[in-house]
Amino acid sequence: MVRALIVVVLFCPSVASAWSEGGHHLIGLLAYHLLDADQKAAFQVMLAQHPRFAEDFAVPGNVATADRWRAGRAGYWPDVARSQPAYNRPNWRWEDAVTLVVGDRERVRLPRHVTHLPRGASLQTDDLHASQAIALCQRVLNDASQPAADRAIALCWLGHLVGDSHQPCHAGSLYAVKAFPTGDRGGNEVSTAQRRNLHALWDGLLGGGYSETSENRRFAEIVNDAALMARSEKAAEKMDPLDWLEESRLASTKVVYTTEVLGPVRAVAEGRAESMPTIQVSPEYLQTGGRMATLRACQAGWRLSKVWSEGLSKPVARAAVAKPVSVTPASLAPGASAAAATEDRYWLNTKTGVRHNSTCGNFEKTKAGEYCDAEDGRPCGMCGG
């Protein structure tokens, strides 16, 4: 498995700053695997309430198991939403904290690590970091009174953020005199020969783009490793995200910022070099990194499963089973016209969960549908529901 991971790092294309698509899918699938049958059913019901379900969770034709794919897609979805301003939250993906300082601490600009959730924060609040965003999304997911669409969004963001909090480069930055006085942005400023930078290299350690065959192979390797699963189950006794992030920072000091990386950093900090070179990390570095990435993915899967299961234990309104509203002639007031009967009436597309009002061209016209209440489903983008 380690050899396969090294090949992935060297040859897969660059991915954005998070575990790659394949990595997030793998963590989501591990978490889903650990849910019981009722929780899995509740997961699929809740995910179907997502406002982008029809567009972003359409299962590719070459995928054999739709439920497993959607579980992984849920964890990856915030990266899909990078092009969707209404849902993209770039700051949520990382923690503004200090992993390591090289040289005089007084000569670098260290951040103030703020972890409490600001009063009034919501899913629309951009200026949050990972630990704060996890707390927010847990609050939304665990509150049955929240709109079903918001809970589905929180479900996906938790899938993503629990994974990211276990990626060592997402937990903090290296600060170094002259080299990185304001931080290396979690390795993004450290150029590497294998990938564009150290952060991207670590993002790819769980694979590149999604492949069902590759995911199934990696999934089987993990769940069939009894020692790894036992160690990760034990880790799931610690459910404070601040602990997960601290673990990631500790891992960074051991396997990310090794002597291969810190040697050039110290050379710049001590004036023995003008600037940081592009670093060619060794095969040993990649092997150790691959093992750590696999461990962190498994730990993330166990912890995410517990986070998801807590929220899924709270009931969620299922739009597709909303009680139909009778519109038979007997239900109309004497003398009422057919047009009047549809005023203030709503039609639910039970396949997509989209609600249409009586002015919409889709009212009563979808292949699958039923009458519903004004609170059911999510509003049509054209008529407003």
**Residues in the chain with pLDDT values less than 50:** 1-16, 319-343
Per-residue pLDDT tens digits for 168-209? 999 999 999 999 999 999 999 999 999 899 999 999 999 889
- Per DSSP, the residues of 52-69 read THHHH-PPPTT-S-HHHH
pLDDT number for residue 3: 41
pLDDT number for residue 7: 39
pLDDT number for residue 343: 39
pLDDT number for residue 317: 58
CA dihedral for 104, 105, 110, 115, sign (positive or negative) = positive
C-beta separation of 71 from 32 below 8 A: yes
In angstroms, the CA 1 to CA 18 distance is 21
3-state helix, strand, coil in the chain (%, to 5): 50, 5, 45
Other beta carbons within 10 Å of 63: 14
List the Cα angle 94/91/169 in 5-degree steps. 20
pLDDT number for residue 361: 76
- Enumerate the domain spans of the chain: 2-312, 319-379
Residue 22, both tokens: 């394949």
pLDDT number for residue 286: 97
pLDDT number for residue 321: 34
In angstroms, the CA 31 to CA 309 distance is 9
Q: Which amino acid is at 282?
A: S
pLDDT number for residue 352: 76
CATH of domain 2-312: 1.10.575.10
